[in-house]
Amino acid sequence: MSRPRPIYLNLLQIRLPVPGLVSILHRVSGAVLFLFIPFLLVLLELTLESPGSFLRFKSVLSHWAVKLLVTGLVWAYLHHLLAGIRHLALDLDYGTELAAARASSKAVLVTGIVLTVIFAVAIW
């Protein structure tokens, strides 16, 4: 006799494996980067117009909220890049065994966080 199916899905009780978490964060980071393209283009434009606009860019970037936003975008970029490389390796049939897939997922998470912290220390 089978157990009755749950009436509702409790998302707080689901234990997502690390490769699944990396995959979801890869999609989320890609969406975040896509949505912030206008912001990034405005920042780039501020750096290229003139020396005065570059000074304005530096003053905008000196605000703590902008630094926090840029740090988050750097994490999104680094995570998306590293997870994309991992997915390409998986498509080429490298690291598809369970232990290797878990290890590469953890490496993506740790490397992205470490590089983001290095960047954050540099701008703060």
Cα separation, 79 vs 98, in Å, equals 21
pLDDT of residue 7: 72
Helix (H, G, I), strand (E, B) or coil at 60: helix
Give residue-wise pLDDT tens across range 93-121. Answer: 999 999 999 999 999 999 999 999 999 99
Model confidence, pTM: 0.85
Cα separation, 113 vs 71, in Å, equals 11
What CATH code is assigned to 18-34+62-123? Answer: 1.20.1300.10
pLDDT of residue 12: 79
The domain limits of the chain are 18-34+62-123
For 63, what's the count of Cα atoms within 13 Å in the CB-facing half-sphere?
7
pLDDT of residue 1: 60
What pLDDT tens digit does each residue of the chain (124 aa) get?
678 776 777 777 888 899 999 999 999 999 999 999 998 998 888 889 999 999 988 998 999 999 999 999 999 999 999 999 999 999 999 999 999 999 999 999 999 999 999 999 999 8
Cβ 40 vs Cβ 76: under 8 Å: no
